[in-house]
Copies of this chain bind each other. A is one copy, B any other.
């Protein structure tokens, strides 16, 4: 076995770092904090993109593209936004290099200094609202429902592949509306699109809720989030959707004439998910053998490995595999035959397990005699013998079953690790084991920050599911009255 991965129980964090690299998903680059997304990792991201993009279009959005650079002064226009985003970012100050007059190589040409520095977009609200200004005159021009797929840069000090990188890939939706109600409905609709995607494609349960004021996006009146639980019990914020009120419209003077002929500022939302979802996918389902990919996001759903001694056996098995591959592809599945003849089957088994391929089919000489295959599923590691006859239908059902089982397993784990906690002693004890704590909170930022200082736990969200949360009680920290529970956890 060439590539062994650290066990989760030994060191969960190292297990993750190990897995990302060994499964060929991504690697660090020569540029501080920036990653290279390798073909296998990118293929998973592409599947995510295609599914999400189709959902955005179904809900009426169109793609567009806005500049990579933002004039420095734009960031200061919205008072809260500047606090959040005009900090650690990549600043372009010059537009030319020249031959080094004092030696080899090139140096920055001091005469090519920009009049105003440009920031590589950390998010695009400012440049987009500066553009929307010219797109909107009357209520007839609204809504604007744009999305862009883009790279963004935030100069993070401590980076981890996919979870927190200086450059990452994402989509950012930016919508403009005539009324507050419509914008709020849009922000809600899109967080639900994310929740649906997480559950039904990533097989990852999420809690949907509002961020506390303290944890909102800089410039938002409300931030909705989907929070997922990783296998170490920590939370991962997997997507957010913001109701921005009229903050950006005011900052960039975007007004429209409403149906009554009066001038009004436009209402806004923005929403995004990023390559961070890759990190969530890996940590939600992976095991000590490697990745476990839900079939709906697996670039290769079925791998076939021939087992043979002679050349004759090899060619007979491979020709049978070609035939079965066609059948499976006709059912819409993606299939790879691993016919590399320099590697032993055991090595191949381990490699495709590491890469999380949902189903493995092995065929040896005895299978050829019996008209069978060996079917192994990645999620449970179970192996069974199955007839070659009717394999297409069998695999179709099996992939559905695996998709459902991966979700069910993650849901069971998640639900076992959500507990209601009503005393501060219990909170401090429970948080050490990870998991989500549903607690009463007095609604103040002060309490929130004290809890964070003492336990590293933050309010992940105020869940929208009122059945779970709406209940009278007392703040777990201050003892003051509270009308609903909120979700606390340590997080990525």
Complex interface residues of chain A between 389 and 403 (CB less than 8 A to chain B): none
Asked if A70 lies at the interface with its beta carbon under 8 angstroms from chain B, I say: yes
With a cutoff of 8 Å between Cβ atoms, the chain B residues found around residue A38 in the complex are 64
Asked if A146 lies at the interface with its beta carbon under 8 angstroms from chain B, I say: yes
Decide: A67 and B34 in contact? CB cutoff 8 A: yes
Decide: A127 and B29 in contact? CB cutoff 8 A: yes
Complex interface residues of chain A between 64 and 81 (CB less than 8 A to chain B): 64-76
Docked pose: A91 CA to B42 CA in angstroms: 27
In the complex, residue of chain B having the shortest beta-carbon distance to the beta carbon of A94: B91
With a cutoff of 8 Å between Cβ atoms, the chain B residues found around residue A35 in the complex are 67
Docked pose: A482 CA to B10 CA in angstroms: 73
With a cutoff of 8 Å between Cβ atoms, the chain B residues found around residue A380 in the complex are none
As a 0/1 sequence over residues 162 to 204 of chain A, the CB contacts with chain B under 8 angstroms (1 = contact) are 0000010100000000000000000000000000000000000
Copies of the protein in its oligomer: 2
With a cutoff of 8 Å between Cβ atoms, the chain B residues found around residue A324 in the complex are none
User: CB within 8 A of A95: which of B70, B76, B155?
Assistant: B155
Decide: A73 and B105 in contact? CB cutoff 8 A: yes
Docked pose: A35 CA to B65 CA in angstroms: 8
With a cutoff of 8 Å between Cβ atoms, the chain B residues found around residue A76 in the complex are 104-106
Complex interface residues of chain A between 17 and 55 (CB less than 8 A to chain B): 27, 29-31, 34-39, 42-43, 46
Q: A92 with B67: in contact, given A42-B62, A62-B43, A146-B39 (CB under 8 Å)?
A: no
> Which listed segment binds B: A115-123, A286-294, A440-448?
A115-123
User: CB within 8 A of A31: which of B30, B43, B70, B106?
Assistant: B70
Decide: A71 and B30 in contact? CB cutoff 8 A: yes
Asked if A88 lies at the interface with its beta carbon under 8 angstroms from chain B, I say: yes
Query: From residue A281, how far is it (CB to closest CB) to chain B in Å?
Result: 17
Docked pose: A130 CA to B140 CA in angstroms: 52
A interface with B by C-beta (< 8 Å)? 27, 29-31, 34-39, 42-43, 46, 62-76, 82, 86-98, 104-106, 108, 117-120, 127, 130-131, 134, 140, 146, 150-151, 153, 155, 167, 169, 342
Q: Which 5 pairs, one residue from A and one from B, show the smallest C-beta to C-beta distance? A: A39-B62, A34-B67, A37-B65, A76-B105, A91-B94
